[in-house]
Amino acid sequence: MKSFFKELCFGVILCDDSRQALSQIIAGLQFEGGGIVLGCTKIGLLLSQDQASVPLFGTTAIRAAAPEFAIG
């Protein structure tokens, strides 16, 4: 995961090792009807929705939708 941190800090994905590691972590967290919140805005640089088998929710999109949800 050290390379994962370095890649995200520099905004450049250097190899597929980090992407595969993150995919394995997400696969281990899967449960029926659930999704994964990407708690760091940079994780979306590493893994996109088409590369995941469960719904991914980026924190930027969640924050952007919050006012609309609150207002109704």
Average pLDDT of adjacent 10-residue blocks, the chain of 72 residues: 66 72 81 80 82 87 77 65
Domain boundaries, the chain: 2-71
This prediction has a pTM of 0.65
Check: CB of residue 57 under 8 Å from CB of residue 38: yes
Question: Over the range 23-47, which residues count as b (16 or more CB within 10 Å of their CB) and which as e?
Answer: beebeeeeeeeeebebeeeebeebb
2-71: CATH, from 3.90.550.10, 3.90.1640.10, 3.40.50.1860, 1.10.530.10 = 3.40.50.1860
Predicted confidence at residue 11, as pLDDT, reads: 65
Predicted confidence at residue 38, as pLDDT, reads: 87
